[in-house]
Structure 1
Amino acid sequence: MKRASSVIAAIAALLGAAACAQTPAAGDHPPIVGAWDVTAIDGAAVPADVTATVAFAEDGQVSGVGGCNRYGGRYSYAGGVVTVSELFATKMACMEPNKMDVETKFHQRFTGDLKVALASGGALTLGADAGSLVLRPAAQ
């Protein structure tokens, strides 16, 4: 019971801190805002039985599923670069090897400064020297 109270208190503190964060001015939102499905990591397709998502909110929050666990954090966008920071994630151990493999690779790539490339077909590539993620707009 004590642990549950601590977890709830930690979540409440994170939400409170996020609520106090400065939000961008109206009409000043980066082109990455929205919900995305991760379709490839380092050029390899994400298996059809694995879901990996990214949602960039207008207020600078990012969240989604890394393949197995839910995650959240902050991002900023300037000059064609998105900086992902303060990431936290649940700690479920998925028994399916595909999910854990995607989870590990996703979190290795989805951190720090990532160059943004928007393709005319709607794909979004987030890349760094270590590798890249390819995202497609999520189905509504």
Structure 2
Amino acid sequence: MSSALFVRSLLVAGLMMGIVGCASTTGHATAEGAAATNAATSADSLAQTNWELTRWTTKASVDRAIPHGDNGEPIQLVFLAQGDQYRVSGFSGCNRYMGSYRLQTGKLSISVKGNTRMACMSPEKAQLEQSYLQALSGIRSFTLDSGSAPRHLTFNVANGDVLEFVRRQDPPTPR
């Protein structure tokens, strides 16, 4: 590994550690539309679902490229519940992240509490990962396409960006 690449990797790793050093929580995103409002009445309505980020539109109405990670894995968000533990986890472009969520009184809040600390192989992916984690902490509202088995989830972010997710194969229900 060249010294320049090594230094860049260290800088990206340091940046990522700074991002994870503080947990970030959404501002209690409001449910929009009938399906999201219905889902927001039960903490378990998102439980055991897996979502892939498929579109990211900026405030300027520009679609942002969403490359898969170096291992071919897409950016994803997984909601898990077991007993009274409500967790989120996923892949943010270079690293895995984890945290918790709450869905109550018509609002969704997500708290990312940490992630792995692998260096991104490119500055562009490191920036995408940082932006994704910041977007999760800035969700202001969310929508779902259907009440019984939603297939499409949208987050409207405080900065004007819109993140669209498509439901993928759900994780197994814990025993």
Question: TM bucket by the smaller chain?
Answer: 0.5 to 0.7
Shift of the alpha carbon at 1:73? 0.3
TM-score by length of 2: 0.55
Instruction: Calculate percent identity across the aligned residue pairs.
Output: 28
Change (3 A) 1:82 1:61: same
1:109–1:132: 8 Å Cα contact kept in structure 2? no
1:81–1:114: 8 Å Cα contact kept in structure 2? no
Shift of the alpha carbon at 1:36? 0.8
What's the RMSD between the two structures over aligned residues? Answer: 2.6
Alignment deviations for residues 90-131 of structure 1 (CA, whole Å, 9 cap, x no partner) = 111111344323212211101255422012582100123222
CA distance in 2, matches of 1:82, 1:45: 26
CA distance in 2, matches of 1:57, 1:133: 20
Residue of structure 2 in register with 1:9 after alignment: none
Unaligned runs of 5+ in 2: 1-41, 58-62, 171-175
TM-score by length of 1: 0.67
Superposed counterparts of 1:1-140, under 5 Å? 29-31=44-46, 33-42=48-57, 43-47=63-67, 51-58=74-81, 59-111=85-137, 113-120=139-146, 122-130=151-159, 131-139=161-169
Q: Which runs of 4+ in 1 moved over 4 A?
A: none
SS in 2 for 1:106: helix
- For these two proteins, the number of residue pairs brought into alignment is 114
CA distance in 2, matches of 1:28, 1:107: 22
